Amino acid sequence: MIRAVAAPRRLRGTITLPGDKSISHRAVLFNAVAAGNAVITNFLAGADCLATIACMQALGVSIERRATTVQVQGVGLRGLREPADVLDCGNSGTTLRLLAGMLAGQEGLFAVLTGDASLRSRPQKRIVAPLRMLGASLDGRDGGDRAPLAVRGATLHGGAYALPIASAQVKSALLLAALSGDGRLVLSGRTDGRDHTERMLAVMGVDLTVTNGIVQIDPPGRADALQPLSLRVPGDPSSAAFWWVAAAIHPDAEVTTTGVCLNATRTGALDALRAMGARIEVHDQRVEGNELVGDVTVRSSSLRGTTIGGELIPRLIDEIPVLALAAACASGETLIRDAQELRAKETDRIMTVVAGLKALGAAIEPTADGMGIVGGRGLRGAMLDSHGDHRLAMTWAIAGLVAAGETMLDGAGAVDVSYPEFWTALAQIAEG
Ligand code: S3P
């Protein structure tokens, strides 16, 4: 699908965000193995999270969805049934990696996890190697590095593992495997990825502690140990970031996003934008679903370049495409470093972001672990491609709000993966 975007005179309004993608996945996955029923509201009905629902249904869990409300009838930690066919995770790394961990300890159950061409090209050794250490039997193409992955449920044991990369998907896969294991699992190293799994499992009654970055989980040993958790999913900060950048780079803008998840492992984009001089106000902070949420207002700003790297990277990894756009509209230089993980996302986002911003006229060069941008040259509309990557599609749409002339976007439908109402929200705030 091709869409054309041109610069509106003003951006004004309030956007109610869709539910957070990471939390929506986890709410379905964890409640599916809880002992009882749960109701999830403000669930993200994007393709990624719908794939998670379909996989859990194929594993014998009764799940009903009406728009953004989902009812899950948990089957307990030992109640999943062997699926009759391969499990299609679509474009969703979270579905594939968390499910691989969850299924690894389901004794007697065989499953094959696969997905679209993008997902099948992404690295899986990061979960396969440590899961095998816990006793898991799983394999895949490329010596276990690429999906399809075949999992044969086995008896898992505890252990210790130092995470070499700050990946919440790897951390979560291991914690889910440990749930059905027979001994304590201790995770150290790069445990600084998003912590929704730890928070949610702890509230559901799992013996899980986090002390100085060391995550420790003791398997409950009982199939009915996980209490169901009904919750309202907070708004997705990774979706909100598109509106924050849009408002900051547009010359006449004031946009509010409501109910944003402000979990500290997710707010790196706000920190980076503040460092660039963005006019940001966070108000009405409250707690919803065991997460801090608030409303965020951003106004037209004079941005300046900055350095984005180190500890900040895991806290804004999904927002880097749109932050690179902000940097292209800022005065001075921006360096994004320590972000080699971008190469393992839905596309190689170092390559695809640099190519797209170059086409728009930006001065940008790739590096091994990020990119360097000299901002302030002004963008001009171009023909761009999402390459099937939802975050690229939305980044190019936001670029179209400030570029001269018209920006044409091929593959615009990719937004459905994480933000099906994106185009409606855009039309709602674009005036004139
Ligand atoms: C996610 C973790 C991150 C993030 C992805 C969602 C999650 O991936 O990029 O969009 O829900 O756990 P990694 O764990 O690979 O860093």
pLDDT tens-digit series, residues 244-264: 999 999 999 999 999 999 999
CA distance 409 to 231: 36
Q: Is the pLDDT of residue 289 over 80?
A: no
For a pocket test of ligand 1, which of 30, 89, 94, 236 has the largest count of ligand atoms closer than 8 A to its C-beta? 94
**In this predicted structure, what is the pLDDT of residue 288?**
83
For residue 154, report the phi and psi dihedrals to the nearest 5 degrees. Answer: -135, 170
CA distance 113 to 170: 16
Q: Whose structure tokens read 């801090």?
A: 292
- For residues 86-115, average pLDDT: 98
Confidence of residue 16 (pLDDT cuts 50, 70, 90): very high
Confidence of residue 123 (pLDDT cuts 50, 70, 90): very high
Which amino acid is it at 315? R
**In this predicted structure, what is the pLDDT of residue 206?**
98
Q: Report the atom number in ligand 1 closest to the C-alpha of 344.
A: 15
Residues 6 or more apart whose Cβ sits within 8 Å of residue 278: 244, 248, 298, 301, 303, 326
Q: How far apart are the CA of 153 and the centre of ligand 1, in A?
A: 24
C-alpha distances (whole Å) from 17 to each of 3, 67, 94, 215, 288 are: 22, 14, 20, 31, 14
Ligand 1 atom 9 nearest Cα: 318
Query: Facing residues of 372 across strands?
Result: 335, 365
- For residues 357-380, average pLDDT: 97
CA distance 428 to 229: 34
Mean pLDDT of the chain: 98
Q: Is the pLDDT of residue 290 over 90?
A: no
User: What is the number of residues in the chain?
Assistant: 432
317 close to ligand 1 (CB < 6 Angstrom):
yes
167 close to ligand 1 (CB < 6 Angstrom):
yes
Q: What is the distance of C-alpha 301 from the center of its chain?
A: 27
Write out the DSSP string of 364-409.
Answer: EEEETTEEEEE--S--B--EEE-TT-HHHHHHHHHHHTTSBSEEEE
Let me know: does 240 contact 17? Beta carbons within 8 Å: yes
Q: Would you give the DSSP letter of residue 35?
A: S
Q: How far apart are the CA of 430 and the centre of ligand 1, in A?
A: 30
346 close to ligand 1 (CB < 6 Angstrom):
no
Q: Is the pLDDT of residue 136 over 80?
A: yes
Write out the DSSP string of 69-102.
Answer: EEEEE---TT-PPPPSS-EE-TT-HHHHHHHHHH
Let me know: does 414 contact 48? Beta carbons within 8 Å: no
For a pocket test of ligand 1, which of 169, 200, 418 has the largest count of ligand atoms closer than 8 A to its C-beta? 169
Q: Whose structure tokens read 């059905």?
A: 180
- Cβ-based neighbour number of residue 212 at 10 Å: 6
Q: Report the atom number in ligand 1 closest to the C-alpha of 172.
A: 12
For a pocket test of ligand 1, which of 167, 191, 233, 390 has the largest count of ligand atoms closer than 8 A to its C-beta? 167
The sign of the CA dihedral 290, 292, 295, 299 is negative
Q: Is the pLDDT of residue 374 over 90?
A: yes
Stated pTM of the model? 0.98
Q: Where are the beta strands (DSSP E) in 164-269?
A: 185-189, 207-211, 214-218, 231-232, 253-261
Do the strands 279-288 and 10-16 form a parallel or antiparallel pair, or are they unpaired? Answer: unpaired
C-alpha distances (whole Å) from 10 to each of 282, 362, 429 are: 22, 23, 8
Q: Which residues have a catalytic role annotated?
A: 318
Distance between start and end Cα atoms, the chain = 24
Query: Facing residues of 294 across strands?
Result: 260
For residue 193, report the phi and psi dihedrals to the nearest 5 degrees. Answer: -70, 175
Q: Report the atom number in ligand 1 closest to the C-alpha of 341.
A: 16
Q: Whose structure tokens read 């730890």?
A: 198
Under CATH, which number does the domain 21-232 receive?
3.65.10.10
Pick 2-19+234-431's CATH classification: 3.40.50.300, 3.20.20.100, 3.65.10.10, 1.10.1660.10: 3.65.10.10
- Cβ-based neighbour number of residue 67 at 10 Å: 8
Could you read off the pLDDT of 25-84 as tens digits, one per residue? 999 999 999 999 999 999 999 999 999 999 999 999 999 999 999 999 999 999 999 999
- Give helix 93-104 / helix 47-58 axis angle, nearest 10°: 30
Listed in order, the ranges of the chain carrying CATH 3.65.10.10 are 2-19+234-431, 21-232
Q: Is the pLDDT of residue 238 over 90?
A: yes
**In this predicted structure, what is the pLDDT of residue 366?**
98
- For residues 321-330, average pLDDT: 98
Q: How is residue 36 written in tokens?
A: 């009882």
Ligand 1 atom 16 nearest Cα: 167
Share of the chain above pLDDT 70, in %: 100
CA distance 411 to 131: 36
